[in-house]
Amino acid sequence: MCVTLRRTIGLAAGILWLVFFAVPAFAAPVVDSVRIGDYETRTRFVIDINEKVSFKIFTLADPYRVVIDLPEVAWRIKPEDAPRGKRITGYRFGLFQPGQSRIVMDLARPVTVSRAFLLEPSGTYGHRLVIDMTDVSRVAFLRAMRQQVTAPARPSVQRPQPGVQTPPPEAKKPRNQLPLIAIDPGHGGVDPGARGVRGSWEKTLTLSMGRELRRQMLASGRYRVIMTRDRDIFVRLRERIAIAQRADADLFISLHADSIDNRKVRGGSVYTLSEKASDREAAALANKENKADIIAGVDLSDQSETVARILIDLRQRLTKNASVTLAKTLVDNLSATTRMLRRTHRFAGFAVLKAPEIPSVLIEMGYLSNSTDEKLLRDRRHQRRIARAIIAGVDAYFEKRQALYR
């Protein structure tokens, strides 16, 4: 076979590979832009998308929100470019569950979705999803919300989801196996978390840090690891706890990076659970983190107070003591690696730390509102250093626990 013929066959094979294998990777609909038009009696929200899609719209109260569910789409828009209007004060978007993307609009007042329709391409415009909203009273808003026939789709907590870790049966272990560590990268998908002064998003940095921590823990040969998420996807607070519980995890480590108004403040800290916060800042942070489900447009109205709260029983009080031990060993090792706040160990009522049988900590790795902290958290070398310090803290924790039972 001559060289020219071989090259021709190779080129043809390459084209066929692109047609049959590469194209499906780009098959998801693409949202190109979002526009808001404010008028005296209504607001129009327009989503520019490259193909016709199905959609589902519903409203939620306290705070007022309009939620739009779409098939899983690719986003060419950026969260920081989100326009605002006199009725729409902001919005978020991202992957809500496998196969389903979501846009959550925050409203300044109650509205009704008077019209929602798709427009075919015309002139310079492609496909458009148009939502018209007009003002209504709170009574009318709540009445319409109760009458909604189409409710938001909810993933079953028992169904395996791509990007959300579901432990295999062998993860349920006899106690002579290696300890299992649940790593929880905070936020994700439609819930971006804090935004840094340099434009970083908390959900991106926590996922990168979580993957690095998993890599080093597995490489050590001393631990097994499960992650609550391993891609940019939203996971409810309760499901994060449930993932660790189903796997029978020995420890739960939640990774975060906060943002506050004072850009001079920098440094990390470690939180454990308490119904009484150690200080105002800890209380404010817990309150903000506990709203993650609201931010993602989850309807919590069907949950009674008894169900929504996780009661603190004797077993959890014992677990809290183990959590404090873990926090202290982590602080000791992180302090040698990265800058920490003056009060390094704090406590507050974080919902994500309420697994009654699993010692749990929440690590705030730094402040994205501080340019130095944000720069460090984006640096892969710094991430590797933090991961090594966390592992050293976990090592010290298990050494202390073993010493107690010798």
**Average confidence (pLDDT) over 167-190:** 76
> 45, 88 in Cβ contact below 8 A?
yes
**DSSP characters for 85-144?**
-SSEEEEEEEEEETTEEEEEEEESS-EEEEEEEEE--BTTB-EEEEEEEEE--HHHHHHH
pLDDT tens profile 127-156: 999 999 999 999 999 999 888 854 334 333
pLDDT tens profile 27-85: 789 999 999 999 988 999 999 999 999 999 999 999 999 999 999 999 998 776 667 78
Last residue of a domain, one of 93, 113, 146: 146
Q: Tokens 């427009």 map to which residue?
A: 119
Q: In terms of domains, do 294 and 194 share one?
A: yes
Q: In terms of domains, do 109 and 243 share one?
A: no
Q: In terms of domains, do 134 and 206 share one?
A: no
Q: In terms of domains, do 115 and 205 share one?
A: no
- Per-range mean pLDDT, top range of 170-174, 192-196, 204-208: 204-208
Beta strands in 275-404 (DSSP E): 340-348, 360-367
Residue 159 maps to a domain: no
Q: In terms of domains, do 292 and 368 share one?
A: yes
Q: Picking from 112-116, 264-268, 299-303, which range would have the lowest pLDDT averaged per residue?
A: 299-303
Q: In terms of domains, do 142 and 218 share one?
A: no
Q: In terms of domains, do 126 and 261 share one?
A: no
Domain span holding position 124: 28-146
Q: In terms of domains, do 40 and 184 share one?
A: no
* Structure tokens that stand for 228 in this block: 């609550």
Measure the CA angle with vertex 46, ends 45 and 51; round to 5°.
Answer: 150
Q: In terms of domains, do 377 and 237 share one?
A: yes
* Structure tokens that stand for 328 in this block: 């202290």
> 49, 32 in Cβ contact below 8 A?
yes
Q: In terms of domains, do 141 and 187 share one?
A: no
Helices (H), 147-221: 202-220
Domain count for the chain, please give it: 2
- pLDDT score for 299: 75
Q: How far apart are CA 180 and CA 106, in angstroms?
A: 39
